[in-house]
A = this chain, B = another copy of it.
């Protein structure tokens, strides 16, 4: 997606070979018009997939997932990383390790909101090692849903997540797959 790639080249900062800072438009300050364009692009790419639910993992995926759900006229479901004291009945959980925070968290889903027969599009802001995506998929499949697509705004394609997901048979669409980066340069696939 050219608009997104241009923005990454303009404002993104590769802090190392592995860390890409895009907090001026994606995950701290958010350009919601750009997110709307990303949502419309996901809706276009998955238009024929018979999606019934757009699911994301809190919290940086919420803005692009909300815009995707809006473009597809579907509900969004947010898988939680921590359990509220008032969210207790009918939940399923899976432990996921976050490399960014260097700590595990309990991914949580209420089974009222994803049911057997649902065809899910899982949206997130970033894909790197794929831990969050595989954790989310495991939980969604436990709920009886089929994950028919995974959409990520940015993929660090040189890290194993995207390849592992595809090898496991999942369709993955990355709007900006970064093939290589380092101080002063970012390259796309």
Interface residues on A, range: 35 or more
Count of chain copies = 2
Enumerate chain B residues within 8 angstroms of A24, measured Cβ to Cβ: 112-113
Task: State A85–B33 Cα separation when bound (angstroms).
Answer: 27
Known: A35-B66, A66-B35, A66-B66. A29 touches B75 (CB 8 A): yes
**Contact present for A63 and B76 (CB under 8 Å):** yes
Stretch at the interface among A15-23, A44-52, A136-144, A163-171: A15-23
- Taking CB atoms and an 8 Å cut-off, the chain A residues in 103-125 that contact chain B are 110, 112-113
Q: Are A84 and B58 in contact, with the CB atoms below 8 A?
A: no
A30 sits at the interface (CB 8 A) = yes
- Report the minimum CB–CB distance from A20 to chain B (whole Å): 9
| CB atoms of B110 and A28 under 8 A apart | yes
- Residue of chain B at shortest CB distance from A27: B78
CB neighbours of A147 from chain B (8 A):
none
For A69, the chain B residues whose CB sits under 8 A away are 30, 32
Once A28-B80, A69-B30, A113-B29 are accepted as A-B contacts, the answer to whether A100 and B75 lie under 8 Å apart by CB is no
> Can you show 19 pairs from A to B with CB atoms below 8 A apart?
A21-B86, A24-B112, A28-B77, A28-B78, A28-B110, A28-B113, A29-B75, A30-B66, A30-B77, A32-B69, A32-B70, A32-B75, A33-B73, A59-B78, A62-B66, A63-B63, A82-B101, A85-B100, A85-B102
Q: Besides the contacts A59-B78, A84-B100, what 8 more A-B pairs have beta carbons closer than 8 Å?
A: A23-B87, A28-B77, A28-B113, A29-B76, A30-B75, A32-B70, A58-B59, A66-B67
